[in-house]
Amino acid sequence: MFDLRTLDGHSATVNQSALDSLDASLRGSVFLPGSPDYDAARVTWNSIVDRRPGFVIRALGASDVQKAVNFVRETGLIMSVRSGGHQIAGHAVADDAVMLDLSHMRSVHVDPHTRTARVAPGAVLADVDRETQAHGLVVPVGINGTTGIAGLTLGGGFGWTTRKFGMTIDNLISAEVITADGSIVTASDSSHPDLFWAIRGGGGNFGVVTSFEFQLHPLGPEVLSGLVVHPIEEASGLLVEYARIADTAPDELTVWSVMRKAPPLPFLPEEWHGREVLIFAACYAGPIADGEAALAGLRSLGEPIADVISPHAFVDWQAAFDPLLTEGARNYWKSHDFSTLPAEAISELLEGIATLPDPASEVFIAHVGGAMARVAPDATAYPERSAHFIMNVHTRWEDPAKDDACIAWARALYDRMTPHSTGSAYVNFMPADEADHMSGAYGANGKKLAQIKGQYDPDNLFRINHNIQPG
């Protein structure tokens, strides 16, 4: 007998025979507390999240997902959905709820003739990159190979090739979705177009996606990419120049800035290890020779400690930051959007960098625009389409005793930067304590999202997320 949370705010008992019957109906399995598979499923990328679901349903296909959705709806239970388990807020798992685990659904099938890929929801970005690059093709995704494709896509998705090819959602052709009533539907421009609009940025509020179909683009196998590292003391002037270069760059060029203590990278002189640095991370999504010309201005700035920009296999560049973003650390993020980077904002940012709470913590500024900015704000649920800068205060540490200090540092820097921000937000970077920021995440698209939520999930079955209330 198991007591679990219910949608009406109470608890309900699920007996063993009901679980046995559910388990027998699945290709996958039901896992109970105490089993190794249960413990493996509930562990997420962010170790600050330590929650215990009532039980886990591991799905191996759309039929399993459908059965799971029907089970929780009919019993009135609360359900979380795990795909990659990378989401910073830890919405993949909730205490005393049913956990639907999609992490073993990792297939990626590429059709090089149509330049499309069919991707299962448990796939991570490294899976997608390896399979698409085998054919010299890409879909724009994020920058960490362990990120799940499902969460990334449903929240928007941006990375090194977004300026050239658009956001991940801009390259989504269709999706198979299990809705709250247990229906299996195809969402696309021609089938359930309202649902298709909503899942492109609206998160997991509208159903469980069991398959994504993406448009692919030729790129690789090599791109011009790498890092330019400068002393943090030169950052105030360099960031002004960075903003100018970013705003005038061709679509093929993406440059992000990172401020942190230098890790012990082999190309950095040992005396710089552990000291604050400014890093420009760059990628040119086009011919190598054109990239050399496009990056000349950035590489001529100041007197760098190291410049390791060169041709790299794109699949390797996509995984370049994975060693700094491994599973198991404690993480807390805060994020702002900026239309520009004025000197006042840069000054506030650098004051925060001077008091980094842990050597693994960092702040990065991503510049987006190009093809992404040529999509209308109301064309998808994700609204912030203008060329802009996205800041992620990426606080990361190992020792639980540092939780309060690290979280307080992130919040303080976020508050200092608020006057310079646009008020919008990227939902994939929002921690669990930002429910009051949902209006910033969706802006004018919020009303339409609520209406579509009311159509497809009127009882808010899918609520363990950055939740959109049914309208």
Helices (H) and strands (E) in the chain, counts: 15, 21
Of 149-153, 169-173, 263-267, 377-381, give the lowest mean pLDDT range.
263-267
What mean pLDDT comes out for the span 102-111? Answer: 98
Decide the pairing of beta strands 11-14 and 29-31.
unpaired
Closest to 66 in 3D by CA, of 156, 177, 164, 162: 177
Q: What is the pLDDT of residue 440?
A: 82
The mean pLDDT of the chain is: 96
* Residue in this structure with the two tokens 């990065």, named with its chain if needed: 364
The strand pairing partners of 11, in sequence order, are 5
Token pair recorded at residue 342: 């004025």
pLDDT tens-digit readout, 336-367: 999 999 999 999 999 999 999 999 999 999 99
Contact criterion met (CB below 8 Å) for 382 and 358: no
What mean pLDDT comes out for the span 5-26? Answer: 95
Tell me the longest C-alpha to C-alpha distance in the chain: 70
Whether the pLDDT of residue 64 is over 70: the answer is yes
Contact criterion met (CB below 8 Å) for 230 and 278: yes
Q: What is the pLDDT of residue 1?
A: 65
Q: How many CB atoms lie within 10 A of CB 351?
A: 11
What mean pLDDT comes out for the span 289-312? Answer: 98
* Residue type at position 253: L
CA pair distance 366, 350, nearest whole angstrom:
16
Token pair recorded at residue 69: 């959705």
Q: What is the pLDDT of residue 212?
A: 98
Domain ranges of the chain: 2-101, 108-218+444-456, 222-431
pLDDT tens-digit readout, 208-265: 999 999 999 999 999 999 999 999 999 999 999 999 999 999 999 999 999 999 999 9
Whether the pLDDT of residue 158 is over 80: the answer is yes
pLDDT band at 434 (very low <50, low <70, confident <90, very high): confident
pTM for the full predicted model = 0.97
Contact criterion met (CB below 8 Å) for 446 and 370: no
Please enumerate, as own/partner, the contacts of 406-415 that have beta carbons within 8 Å and a separation of 24 or more. 406/330, 406/332, 406/357, 406/358, 406/361, 407/332, 409/352, 409/355, 409/356, 409/357, 409/361, 410/332, 410/333, 410/334, 411/334, 412/352, 413/334, 413/348, 413/349, 413/352, 413/363, 414/334, 414/335, 414/336
Whether the pLDDT of residue 83 is over 80: the answer is yes
Whether the pLDDT of residue 413 is over 70: the answer is yes
CA pair distance 50, 89, nearest whole angstrom:
11
Is the domain defined by 2-101 classed in CATH 3.30.43.10?
yes
Q: What is the pLDDT of residue 2?
A: 72
Return the CATH architecture of domain 108-218+444-456: 2-Layer Sandwich (3.30)
* Residue in this structure with the two tokens 């900026």, named with its chain if needed: 338
Contact criterion met (CB below 8 Å) for 245 and 299: no
Contact criterion met (CB below 8 Å) for 417 and 334: no
Would you tell me which CATH number, out of the four given (3.30.300.30, 3.40.462.20, 1.10.150.110, 3.40.50.300), belongs to the domain 222-431? 3.40.462.20
pLDDT band at 424 (very low <50, low <70, confident <90, very high): very high
Q: What is the pLDDT of residue 437?
A: 78
DSSP-assigned letter for residue 200: T
What percent of the chain is predicted at pLDDT more than 70? 100
